Amino acid sequence: MKRQLVIFDLDGTLLNTVADIAAATNHALRTLGYPTHSEGAIQGFVGNGVSKLLERSLPEDSRTEENVSLLRAHFTEYYDRHNADLSTPYPGIQELLRSLHEAGVLLAVASNKYQSATEKLVAHYFPHINFVCVLGQRPGIPIKPSPDIVHEIMEKANVGKSDTLYVGDSGVDMQTAINAGIDGIGVSWGFRPLAELASYNPRAIAKHADDLAELVLLRKD
Assess contact for 193 and 170: CB atoms under 8 A. no
- Annotated catalytic residues are 9
Element (H, E) at 179: helix 171-180
At 87 the pLDDT is: 98
Q: What distance separates the 2 farthest-apart alpha carbons in the chain? A: 56
Radius of gyration over every alpha carbon of the chain, rounded to an integer in angstroms: 17
Tally the C-alpha atoms within 13 A of residue 173's C-alpha that lie toward its C-beta: 35
Assess contact for 130 and 157: CB atoms under 8 A. no
For the chain, give every domain's residue range.
Answer: 5-16+88-217, 18-82
pTM given for the model = 0.94
At 47 the pLDDT is: 87
Note whether 5-16+88-217 and 18-82 share their fold: no
Mean pLDDT per 10-residue segment, the chain (221 residues): 91 97 98 97 92 96 97 97 97 96 96 96 97 96 97 98 96 97 96 94 94 80 49
At 61 the pLDDT is: 96
* Nearest-angstrom CA–CA distance, 89 and 77: 23
At 218 the pLDDT is: 73
End-to-end CA distance of the chain: 11
- CATH fold label, 18-82: DNA polymerase; domain 1 (1.10.150)
- CATH fold label, 5-16+88-217: Rossmann fold (3.40.50)
At 219 the pLDDT is: 54
Q: Are strands 88-89 and 15-16 parallel, antiparallel or unpaired?
A: antiparallel
At 1 the pLDDT is: 60
Q: What share of the chain is helix, strand, coil (3-state, %, to 5)?
A: 50, 15, 35
Give the number of other Cβ atoms within 10 Å of residue 66's Cβ: 8
